[in-house]
Chain A
Amino acid sequence: MKFLQKMSKDMKDRLITFGILFGAFLIVEILILTGGASRHLQAMLIPICINMLLAVSLNLTVGFLGELTLGHAGFMSVGAYAGCLFSIYCKDLLPVFIRYPLAMLIGGAVAAVFGILIGIPVLRLKGDYLAIVTLAFGEIIRSVIINLDFLGGAAGLKGTPQDATFISSFAVVVISVLLILNFLNSKSGRAIKSIRDNRIASESCGVQITYYKMLAFVFSAFFAGIAGVIYGHNLNILTADTFDYNKSIEILLIVVLGGMGSIRGSVIAAVIITALPEALRGLDKYRMVIYAVLLIAIMIFNSSEFGKRIREKYDPKKLFAKKNAVKKENADE
């Protein structure tokens, strides 16, 4: 167990995140294989993965770069349409295992290009201004899609092959979380966090503010695009109205609930926000009211002193700490 002690804080953090991810994955897979999972639960798995991807990627700009953006659904829609168009045209040309990953890369890349295009004028702004302008960009993307006939217009794009599976979506989530965590621990990631903490100080240290801001923004758009591609391949209809500002706010909600700057928090909150309205189906017409009330309650609990104490008490990091302490005692003896 010595390596546990030697492990850096980051490494431990990562182990916990992936432990939770794989633990949940195993439980769900066992349930599916033993027939214990209802169809309702199974249908929710892919949307949960999509929301995880969206939240983790938005956390890059909101949590780590410290800039509030409200246009994440716009990048998701661009990625979704690009990936789905590719899949529709290549349906008969390529087998699934080549076509689907390619569609994801294309969706992500197109979203990233839009990230650059939008980032150039937008990232000159800060705070509230940035939030409003990104909101507007999200709406522009939506309006343009509605008016483009080759994207299906208002009726939506149909005929995308349903390639998304839970296992492939989960794999994408794991790879993305790994990439994002590595990115955050790299030189670039530290530069991005320094901009958030003190822009003037980091600039005086020679950090190129514009470059790193853009990098975080584009990275975030790329993963949102991939999430969009999975979304498009999960349903056989893609309508632009799905990606309105409500969607952007829902993603932001996940990030805020999970804690800004906490990847693990985003992952857990994505599960809660996706599953909560579904778990409340039994309440019939009071469902959305109760959902809203619960959200308020969760937010208050999360930011209260009591909530903080509870979380500290049950912090998974303590598992390591305890073990280490025990080990030390043993060694002393």
Chain B
Amino acid sequence: MKKILCLAIALLMMVMALASCTGAKNDGKKLVIGATGPLTGDNASYGISVKKGAEIAVKEINAAGGINGITFELMFEDDVCDPTNAVNAYNTLMDKGMQVSLGAVTSGACVALTEEARKDGILMITPSGSQKECTQYDNCFRICFTDPDQGTYAADFISDNNVGKKVAIIYDKSNDYSNGIYTNFVTEAGKKNLEIVTSQSYTNQSNTDFSVQLQAVKESGADLLFLPIYYADAGLILTQAAQKELNVIFFGVDGMDGIIKQMGEDKAALTEGVMLLTPFAADSSDPKVVSFVKVFKETYNNETPDQFAADGYDAIYAIAEALKYTGITDTTVADLNEKMVGAMTNITLEGVTGKMTWSADGEASKSATAVVINNSKYVAYSK
């Protein structure tokens, strides 16, 4: 009998240990913001960047005495870029008393969270979940561009400014971000009479040697190479293109941000003249951006913030704007969720990634700026 008892107690204790992590008391003067993102694993750099950016915003807001007397508390959980993990992390955060969610940093995980956020009705603003479905419910909003938008903007920009006539594309078939931009770029290019001379793809299993794709680009006679991919792969492409003496204009999107750091000083010459379309440029002269970059560098060991950090920073300020609009002074009110969600479509945010307003479908409307790399610095594009 003793043994059965022992076994039962051990089992009960295990369950209790898991069940015990219940939420802390909130006195109403605190807004608990929860976020999940990859802090470990392959995509950790995105999660860590967003976390750093968001932490700076929270620190600034709290130092200024909070919004309506309410201070922010940010909790960040690791989701290893996996939907199941993200849902677990989300529920941990709910146990800890989360009132507003930053969703997830990556798209797949974020889509899984929309379902949970819909059930809870809480406001969810994802900094960087770019897939369309990340904002599929009324209480879900986003800071970054959707993948489709970026493709369309890029095609418009290239054709309107006459950057190139014959476009070649290299994209990552196994990456939804890259695929999404590619598909919409091709559609828009058709409307704008841009000639796409070749489309080359690769997968995350074959992203070290691009000689086949680059050879095809060279033979196609393209004058512009569109790269809707992340900077790590783009760096390799730039290096290998130089070896092939490929003479084209390289045009990237926001994933290309970070290329200067990636190439380092010894290959800096290769990045000269590379163009990219991005809502955030760390070298911008906008006072908001200058101050953000300065604080970021001071806080994090002279590191330059990338676009993910800027998205995280803006997401916190979007929540702050929404809270200011509602005029709520006690976060324990029953209709906090409805009021916060309702406020989102009425606010305007002057953030580091541009001036944003939100429509009811959750999309931020903001303009993308194109920059050219000149002497390892972003310079606004001019003809």
A-to-B contact residues, CB < 8 Å: 23-24, 27-28, 31, 36-44, 47, 143, 146-147, 153-156, 158, 162, 231, 234-237, 239, 241-242, 275, 278-279, 281-282, 284-285, 287-288, 314, 316, 318-319
- B87: chain A residues at CB < 8 Å are 43, 235
Q: Which residue of A lies closest to B176 (CB)?
A: A155
What's the least CB distance linking B358 to chain A, in Å? Answer: 22
B78 on the interface (CB 8 Å rule)?
Answer: yes
What's the least CB distance linking B376 to chain A, in Å? Answer: 31
What's the least CB distance linking A113 to chain B, in Å? Answer: 26
Q: A39 touching B3 by the CB < 8 A rule? A: no
- A278: chain B residues at CB < 8 Å are 18, 88, 92
CA A279 to CA B95, docked complex, whole Å: 13
Lowest 8 CB-CB distances: which A-B pairs, in order?
A155-B176, A43-B91, A39-B91, A237-B111, A154-B176, A40-B92, A38-B95, A40-B91
- B12: chain A residues at CB < 8 Å are 27
Q: B19 touching A37 by the CB < 8 A rule? A: yes
CA A213 to CA B18, docked complex, whole Å: 41
CA A192 to CA B180, docked complex, whole Å: 48
Determine which of B80, B84, B173 lies in contact with A146 in the assembled complex, contact meaning CB atoms within 8 Å: B173
- B77: chain A residues at CB < 8 Å are 281
Given A40-B88, A242-B82, A27-B11 contact (CB < 8 Å): yes
Determine which of B92, B133, B179 lies in contact with A158 in the assembled complex, contact meaning CB atoms within 8 Å: B133
- A-side interface mostly: helix
What range describes how many residues of B lie at the interface? 35 or more
CA A289 to CA B309, docked complex, whole Å: 25
For this complex, 20 residue pairs linking A to B, each with C-beta atoms less than 8 Å apart, are: A23-B11, A27-B15, A36-B19, A38-B22, A40-B88, A146-B173, A153-B176, A154-B176, A155-B107, A158-B111, A235-B115, A237-B108, A239-B108, A241-B174, A278-B92, A281-B92, A288-B78, A288-B80, A314-B7, A319-B3
CA A280 to CA B264, docked complex, whole Å: 37
Contact code string B1-29 (vs A, CB < 8 Å = 1, else 0): 00110111001100111111110000000
- B11: chain A residues at CB < 8 Å are 23-24, 27
Given A36-B19, A38-B21, A146-B203 contact (CB < 8 Å): yes
B205 on the interface (CB 8 Å rule)?
Answer: yes
Contact code string B120-134 (vs A, CB < 8 Å = 1, else 0): 000000000001010
What's the least CB distance linking A241 to chain B, in Å? Answer: 8
- B131: chain A residues at CB < 8 Å are 155
Q: Which residue of B lies closest to A242 (CB)?
A: B82
What's the least CB distance linking B165 to chain A, in Å? Answer: 29
What's the least CB distance linking A284 to chain B, in Å? Answer: 8
- A38: chain B residues at CB < 8 Å are 18-22, 91, 95
- B174: chain A residues at CB < 8 Å are 146, 154, 241
B112 on the interface (CB 8 Å rule)?
Answer: yes
Contact code string B73-101 (vs A, CB < 8 Å = 1, else 0): 00001101011100111111011000000
B220 on the interface (CB 8 Å rule)?
Answer: no
CA A313 to CA B205, docked complex, whole Å: 49
Q: Which residue of A lies closest to B84 (CB)?
A: A47
Q: Which residue of A lies closest to B4 (CB)?
A: A319
Q: A237 touching B83 by the CB < 8 A rule? A: yes
Q: Which residue of B lies closest to A42 (CB)?
A: B91
What's the least CB distance linking B45 to chain A, in Å? Answer: 14
Q: Which residue of A lies closest to B39 (CB)?
A: A285
Q: B203 touching A41 by the CB < 8 A rule? A: no
Q: B115 touching A162 by the CB < 8 A rule? A: yes
